[in-house]
Structure 1
Amino acid sequence: MKKEELVIKNIGNLTSLWQTVGEMANSQTSGETFDYCIIPYSEWPNRLWFHHDLNEEGVSQAKEVLLSTQKNITIPYWDIYQSNSDQLLAANGFEVRFEQVGMSLKLGHSYDVPQKLSFKKVENEKEAQLWESLFGQAFGYLISHKLLTPHYNNTDFIIVYHNEAPVGTAVLHHPSDEVIGIHAMGIIPDARRQGLAEMLMKMILNDSIRQEFSFTTLQASAMGKGLYTKLGFEEQFTMKNYTLTK
């Protein structure tokens, strides 16, 4: 697969996840210029994303949507157009909230990993509430358990266990047979500094290989980037996440 195509598939996996959850929550709005998802009882997805490079009219329309809601909505900007069009966001009162790095890995060889971890897909209300709690501890914001209990064909909300104790979360999104996206992978503070994040990633990669996916994609924070690079992931793009200063 060409690099440019894989970049598009990386971004497509991410926006597909937002859309999938938004539609299940009856909170997804699709348009010609951009889509957005606003869920009142959750801090995620709550995203507005553009289909193409930014222009003044599109940014103005997005700003109008965001000014009509009290929720804090994030606008992702991918530096794939080489146009510096994110300056339009800055000029219209948007500020960068955080940055991530889009990364991908061509799946091939499996990884040696001690079987100290296990993971289980959320299947009921009790597990959904546990996932919400673990995610909140790991990341510091709310993904409502209400979003986890509907049945998703291509999205798995994962609880991670270490010695039978729940220690972390992940979301695996696979709308195609070729690419699997890894999202929301985190370990709670009390279980960190034991190498569990690396173990978990290797287990997910091995499982993805067994399922015959060709590539995996993710969006890394500054804290996680080193681990993913160590495992062979390659950087593809920078993603700036903006919010509107109201």
Structure 2
Amino acid sequence: MTTEQQQNLYNLHQLWRMQPYQEFTTNPGAKIYKLEQWPRRIWCEPGSYSEAEKEQLVAELSAKASDSHILSMPEMLLPKAGTGLLLLPSELTPSFSQQMMVKTLSASALSDPAPRLTLEPIEHNHAQQWANTTGACFGYEVESSSVQNLLLGGACLYFIKYQGQVAGTAMTFIQEQQMGIHQVGVLDSYRGKGLARDAMLLLEQYALDAGINTLQLQASAMGEPLYQSLGYCSLGAIHNFIKIDAI
């Protein structure tokens, strides 16, 4: 695993660990983390493992997951057969994948026109509205308590405002001079206007203003073309699985 991959995952995992979690140690000696509220992930700390250790690690993750958890694993930590096919427990089924992406900023790169929107920082009394909005953008339920935990943990959460109305959400989280960008989403009625791109340009400017020039994110299949057009480079996939109990 490269340093850039480790930095990308470190930012994401530190963000997740703002929520209450359980911690376990596996036979290969890795730590497993399990969240019981949004984003309801179960994952392991990155490391160097043999193929046999990877297989054991995924089996232990699956055993500790419930059907309400998403098991998230970087592609390089998944066990593979000699044919290259993944070796996964039968109760795990693929759900979706994301691309770890990184960009190094320079002031001269920000040559796009000024965005047509604003990013409004939220406070604790906006937690439920932000939870409802980001949930509507991405199609899942978010607990307001999870939003409160993010604010207490030092994440910066924003409403994307367009013509005075809430059009979407965004979030940043800074760790070790790396800014992670998360939850950039636009409500259905505002899509097709380039608002996500404008929001990203503002977030990049925020990073430069804070003296940070490295941005990390994990792109969905829908968002990846936008990030590629803005100069983000792929670091590899994170594959996400759900558990289906055997009948």
Q: Which bin holds the TM-score, normalised by the shorter protein? A: 0.7 to 0.9
Separation of aligned partners in 2, 1:137 and 1:220: 18
Q: Which runs of 5+ in 1 are unaligned?
A: none
2:23 match: 29
Alpha carbons of structure 1 residues 114 and 144: separation in structure 2 relative to 1, 3 Å = same
1:160 match: 160
Separation of aligned partners in 1, 2:64 and 2:201: 41
Give CA-to-partner distance per residue, 1:113-158, whole Å, 9 cap, x none: 3342111222122x11111121122111012111222443531122
1:11 match: 9
Equivalent of 2:69 in 61, 66, 73: 73
Separation of aligned partners in 1, 2:92 and 2:79: 18
What is the aligned residue count? 231
**Structure 1: which amino acid aligns with 2:59?**
S
Aligned 1:61-210 pairs, distance under 5 A? 61-66=60-65, 69=66, 72-80=68-76, 84=80, 87-89=86-88, 91-109=89-107, 110-125=110-125, 127-150=126-149, 151-176=151-176, 178-210=177-209
Q: Which runs of 5+ in 2 are unaligned?
A: none
Shift of 1:81: 5.1
Shift of 1:33: 2.3
Shift of 1:163: 1.5
Shift of 1:82: 8.3
Shift of 1:64: 2.5
Separation of aligned partners in 2, 1:130 and 1:5: 37
Asked if the contact 1:102/1:238 (under 8 Å) is kept, the reply is yes
Alpha carbons of structure 1 residues 169 and 231: separation in structure 2 relative to 1, 3 Å = same
- Which segment is superposed worse, 215-224 or 152-161? 152-161
1:245 match: 244
Alpha carbons of structure 1 residues 34 and 144: separation in structure 2 relative to 1, 3 Å = same
Asked if the contact 1:98/1:240 (under 8 Å) is kept, the reply is yes
Local SS of the residue matching 2:223: helix
**Structure 2: which amino acid aligns with 1:219?**
Q
2:230 match: 231
Shift of 1:19: 1.0
Separation of aligned partners in 2, 1:117 and 1:15: 30
Q: CA RMSD in A?
A: 2.2
> Structure 1-normalised TM-score?
0.85
- Which segment is superposed worse, 208-217 or 30-39? 30-39
Asked if the contact 1:111/1:202 (under 8 Å) is kept, the reply is no
**Which portions of structure 1, spanning 4 or more consecutive aligned residues, are displaced by more than 4 angstroms?**
none
**Structure 2: which amino acid aligns with 1:49?**
W
